[in-house]
Each structure stands twice: as C-alpha cells, then as structure tokens.
Amino acid sequence: MPNLAHKTFCVYTYGCQMNEHDSERIVGMLESHGAIRVDTVEEAEIAVFVTCCIREAADVRLMGQVASIKNIPLPKGSVLRKRMVCIGGCIGQRDGDELPAKLAHVDVVFGTQNIERLPYLLEAAMADGGHQVEILETSDSFSSELPSKREHPWAAWLPITVGCNNFCTYCIVPYVRGRERSRTLEDIAAEARALVEDGVKEITLLGQNVNSYGRDLYGEPRFADALRAVSASGVERVRFATSHPKDLTDEVIGLYAELPNLMPSLHLPVQSGSDRILKAMNRRYDAAHYRGLIDKVRTVNPDVSLSTDIIVGFPGETEEDFQATYDLVKEIGYTQVFTFIYSPREGTPAASMVDDTPREVIQTRFDALVDLVQENARVQNRRFEGRDVDVLVEGASKRDDRVIVGHSAHNVTVHAPLPEGVALDEVAGAIVTVRVDAAKAWYLSGTMLHG
C-alpha cells in the first residue's frame, strides 16, 4: 500500500459530471492512503488535474493552469524535493508521454481507465524522481468501486455506464473514454441503497448515453430497469444525464408518470435542428424524430422542464441550417440550453471536413442563439411564479450568506433569504419549500416557507 500519510493535496476538476465523479473518487482514494486535502495549491504538496479535451478552450486553459503553478514554492515543512504535479482524465489519456515532454514539471500522467493507479504512480514519482506515465486502453474496473469523498454529502453521482460507442463526428469522447461498458443492475441497485443509507437525497445516474445502458451486458438496453432500481432505493430525487435522442424509448419516457422520485426534468441534447447537419454529425435521428420525443414527454407530463446542447458552426453549416436550429430552439422552449461554438478536435472525422464559414458569421449566429435562449429561459421560469417549489439546499449565495441556493425539482436554481433565526447549517442538505416570488433568466427568487 502506498503511504501518503500527511501529504497535502489539491484537486482541480475540469469538464463534465463524469470528471466530477472521478475527482470525488480521487479525493476519497488519496485520503484513504493518509493524504490530507487542502483548498489551495500553495498549501498542497501534490496537485492533481482532472482534465477535459472536449473543446480547444479546455486544452488551452489546462496548459495555462499547469504552467502557472510551476514556480509556486512548496508549503513550509514539506520534505518533498518538489511539488508533485499529476495530470489525469481525458487530456492525460490522449496525450500521455507528450505531457512531461511539453511541461517538464509534470510528474505523473494517468488516464480515464486507471485512476486507481494514482497513489502507486505518485509513490514511484516521489521515490525516484522520474516521470510516471501510465495509460491503459481499456479496463474492466469502474472508478465507482473506489472510496469516495462526495463534494456534497447529500448528492451523489452514480455512473451506470462509462465510455461511448456513438462516434458523433465532432466528438473526441469515444477516443478518450473508450467503448461503452455497463455496470450490472445488481451493482447499481446496491450502490443506490448504500447511498441512501449514507444520507444521500439526490442520485444522478451518469453515462455518455444512459439510454443505451445494458446493451453490452444484456443484449438490449435496460435503462428503464436501471431507473426503476435506483428509484426503488427510496432516494428522494433521481436524475440522469446524458440522453441520446436516438435511444430514448417510450418505456423510459413513461417513467416520468410512474416513478414518484424521478425529477421532472430532461436534458436531451439535439446539437442541431438541421437534418443535413445532423446527418453529417452522425447523430442518427432527424429533427422530426426529436420533436416527436418532446411531444411524447409532454404528453406524459406537460410540466417536465427541458434542456439541451447545441453546436453552432459545424463544418458546412449554412444560414438555412442555422435557421432550422434557431427555429427548433424557439419552438421547444427550453429552460436551459448549453451553446457551444464548434471546435475541431484532431482525430475526429469532422476535423477533416471543409470548414470555411467565417468566424464572424459563426459568432453572429452564436450571439443570436444566446439571446434567444435567455429570452426562452425567462419565459419558461415565469411559469413557476407564485408556485411553491421543493428546493434541495446546497449552500449560501456567494454574494449574501443569508440567502440560500439550491435546485428545484425541475432543476432550476432557486434563491431565498434564510428566515430570521435559522442558521444555514440547519437547512443545508434539506429539502425545503420556497414560494417563488420572481423569475429571472437564470434563477427563481422566493420566500422559504418551512425547513
């Protein structure tokens, strides 16, 4: 067993919820080897970066961050010869040996398939001073089997699949996360039960495409069964991310009316409203299929709040293609839309497609979409005005420590002043009722009714 007793460490996390989950495991694992988590790099003898490479901006930011800590001295009293700098996650997986070649102060590189090896690689790097780079193509273990230190004790990520088989032409994920592998229904149910016993109120099932869960294990997707199993744990709130429209079944949609603890919100990335672009993206559905899914969801429960991801400026996107996206976003009325400008990723099919739309044109489209999204969100949020909503309290507002912040069942951020005489600690992690007084574009503000 590596001995990291009393070594201090900090973890920087970039990117998606799977990385946030992996970071919770890294913290849990390093603590189980005796290390102590600290908040700042100045206090840390070990700095761990859990990285993302989905868009170029993420790469650039990471390189800058790693470079910026190079000359920060070790904390007083450390016996190490230098701070141990560790890079894991998707950039680690993609770049491997290139990282210490580019950034000489990097000591350990690990990937998406072997986070359990970090303590061993760290021990070796501390002992002989050489770079330790270890990347595995695939693995049969799941990081969810490692000890965990949850960011919030009351909310947990529960990965049901890792990897992706879809190969959307713009996306690097299948290359850095590997092929899709599912955990068994028994494992998932057992983890959900253990989380509930540990006081967890909200479980979010994770996967690049949760809807194809189980295909590798059972020969057919069993996502509905995974949802039922987690719901049966009795946890107060169940959520999931991310769904692929080509695999979302009527059975899963029906669960919005069947499972009382399945929260009324759905993140269903559409990426584009143009059939031509959807085909070039290899998404394997068209806009009509997507609209049909939304109709079905709204038939089952008209109150489900919807969110999506959109890529603007995919190679060859014309004004007409963009207009189709704009119209679809306007028509559906999302509560939240994550908008991205297309970023070519080396090694993906789209990176070698002709991409000659001027930057300014793409920016203009992007800005128009962002304006629409904001307007839509305000309209959607207005439907909550005057309503009482349940809010899982996550903490205090950054601007005012007497204002609580949390998420409603519909996954909308809610702010409310703490009632006189109530301390934050008394309500953090609890589900409280808030009467919504006003809807803003990005949050609801209201009055807390009881704790």
Binding site for ligand SF4 (CB under 6 A): 164, 166-168, 171, 173-174, 208-209, 244
CA nearest 295: which of 244, 241, 346, 333? 333
- Length of the chain in terms of residues written: 451
- Residue 164 interacts, among ligand SF4, ligand 5AD, none and using kind-specific CB cut-offs from 5 to 8 Å, with ligand SF4
Assign 435 to helix, strand or coil: strand
The verdict on 311 binding ligand 5AD (CB under 6 A) reads yes
For residue 129, the tally of other CB atoms under 10 A from its CB is 10
102: tokens are: 């580019």
* Cα 327 from Cα 372, distance rounded (Å): 10
Of the pair 54, 125, the CB lying nearest ligand 5AD is at 54
**Which residue type does 51 have?**
T
Of the pair 212, 231, the CB lying nearest ligand SF4 is at 212
- Among the residue ranges 128-136, 187-195, 225-233, 340-348, the one whose residues contact ligand 5AD (CB under 6 A): 340-348
The verdict on 208 binding ligand 5AD (CB under 6 A) reads no
- Residue 311 interacts, among ligand SF4, ligand 5AD, none and using kind-specific CB cut-offs from 5 to 8 Å, with ligand 5AD
Of the pair 113, 233, the CB lying nearest ligand SF4 is at 113
Q: What is the 3-state secondary structure (H, E, C) of 387-404?
A: CEEEEEEEEECCCCCCEE
Of the pair 305, 343, the CB lying nearest ligand 5AD is at 343
Q: For residue 89, what are the CA distances in angstroms to 45, 134, 243, 324, 357?
A: 20, 12, 22, 35, 32
Q: Smallest distance from the beta carbon of 194 to ligand SF4, in angstroms? A: 28
Of the pair 169, 261, the CB lying nearest ligand 5AD is at 169
Phi (first) and psi of residue 386, to 5 degrees: 85, -10
Q: Which of 14, 49, 170, 213 binds ligand 5AD (CB under 6 A)?
A: 170
- Residue 237 interacts, among ligand SF4, ligand 5AD, none and using kind-specific CB cut-offs from 5 to 8 Å, with none
- Residue 54 interacts, among ligand SF4, ligand 5AD, none and using kind-specific CB cut-offs from 5 to 8 Å, with ligand 5AD
Q: Which of 8, 231, 271, 336 binds ligand 5AD (CB under 6 A)?
A: 271
444-450/431-439 β-pairing: antiparallel
405: tokens are: 């912040």
- Residue 174 interacts, among ligand SF4, ligand 5AD, none and using kind-specific CB cut-offs from 5 to 8 Å, with ligand SF4
Distance of CA 402 to the CA centre of its chain: 28
